[in-house]
Amino acid sequence: MQLNISLFAGLICANQNLACHGKKDFIQEFPDGITVRQLRDLLGIDPKIPLLVMVNNHGEAEELILTEGDRVALFPPIGGG
């Protein structure tokens, strides 16, 4: 299934085996039934980094099962003042 992925604040696809390697905005094919957590692992994003997950403009948990055409945005903690 195809997913539309946007990574923010320095996150990039770190998996050298994927066509999206080094990118932050891309459409990529992934296995059916993948969860956000599995997506994160496939993209090579450090599991120690807490993420804010948005799927189709709604906050979601990493256990969410993704479906064809979902738009996934991942944000690391952002601070400032």
Higher-confidence residue: 77 or 1? 1
> Does 80 map to a domain?
no
Task: For residue 11, give both structure tokens.
Answer: 């996150």
Task: Provide the number of structural domains found in the chain.
Answer: 1
> Does 13 map to a domain?
yes
> Does 28 map to a domain?
yes
CA distance 81 to 61: 27
Q: What is the pLDDT of residues 15-48, one digit of tens each?
A: 999 999 999 999 999 999 999 999 999 999 999 9
Structural domain boundaries enclosing 57: 2-75
pTM strictly above 0.85: yes
Q: Assign residue 57 the CATH number of its domain.
A: 3.10.20.30
> Does 81 map to a domain?
no
CA distance 76 to 29: 23
How high does pLDDT run on average in the chain? 94
